[in-house]
Amino acid sequence: MTLDPDAQRALEIGRAAGGEPFENGSVAAARTAYIASFPTQQGDREPVAATEQRQVDGPNGPVTVRIHRGIGAPRTGARAVLYLHGGGWVIGNLDSHDDICRWLANLGNAVVVCPDYRLAPEHKFPAGLEDCAAALRFMAAGELGIGPTRIAVAGDSAGGNLAAVLALLARDGLAPPLAAQILIYPNTDARQTTDSYRRFGDGFGLTAATMAWFRDHYVQRLDDIADWRVSPLLASSLAGAPPAFVVIAGHDILADEGTAYAERLRAEGVPLVLRHWPGQIHGFVSMGRHILAARQAVSEAAAWLRLETRAQAD
């Protein structure tokens, strides 16, 4: 399958912008460059019914969360999504995926909560995961008018990793229960040995070198790579996890591990929708200014979420 023309153009725009690979500079430089890229990549930040920011109790101090109430979301018993942004556990913030959060809020008639979780290397594993769990506990407490059985977790890339892990923690009673999970090109295997690392390791946006740089900042020690909370594909069982909607980009170094995770979910009895976008690249959902499939993917996920959480309604 060849690259989608939109994806090809997005890559060309990125190359024309220049800039050093993240791994060739400092973390601060990577964050600055990533923030500067938002206006040239993101889709429209469409209006929602209401937006607010709060601080919620976290394990090591307050965690800032941004809350979007989508158009059509009820004041009580609303479906809700905890959205965990991507960025390799090292970059990204409340603005980096705000367009996606707004789309999900409106398309899902939902309340979407995005936490500004702690980033590595200042805060290594499991700090960010702990902050995400704290945000989920805040949502489950009922203060936002959320239906307690209508909460989903979602995320892309490293955020998809955190979402998958949080879904398993919820299954095990170590976090509030979840009705569904949406995993967008998730990182599920920190060993970074799948064949898609060879096929798409350079020239398709996210490179193998950058992914190794992200991981090495995230883990505290090499042994963490085999911890299922870093590599959920290595969990002993996925059975009993919440129903899943998984998005795979065909030209992505994470394609094989994301597909393997989805196949394990299905094999172990978890209801699954696996959606392949064969012509797309890693991060395409965050490139709505150039890639039409970005909003299409979110629309499909939101439609699935509406059906899934309707069945789980209080």
> Cα–Cα distance between 227 and 129 in angstroms, integer?
13
SS3 144: coil
Q: Which H or E run contains 83? A: strand 78-84
**Under 8 Å between Cβ of 282 and 6:** no
Q: Is 196 considered catalytic here?
A: no
Q: Is 157 considered catalytic here?
A: yes
Contacts (Cβ under 8 Å, ≥6 apart) of 196: 252, 253, 254, 255, 256, 257
Residue of 68, 217, 282, 290 with catalytic role: 282
What DSSP assignment string belongs to 7-61? Answer: HHHHHHHHHHH----GGGS-HHHHHHHHHHHHHHH-------SEEEEEEEEEBTE
From its phi and psi, is residue 281 left (phi > 0), alpha (psi between -120 and 50) or beta? beta
> Cα–Cα distance between 87 and 158 in angstroms, integer?
6
Residue of 116, 189, 252, 256 with catalytic role: 252
Question: Which two tokens mark 148?
Answer: 């307690």
End-to-end CA distance of the chain: 44
Q: Which H or E run contains 66? A: strand 61-69
Contacts (Cβ under 8 Å, ≥6 apart) of 221: none
Residue of 157, 196, 231, 286 with catalytic role: 157
Residue 142 CA to chain centroid, in angstroms?
Answer: 23
Pairing of strands 61-69, 146-156: unpaired
Residues designated as active site: 157, 252, 282
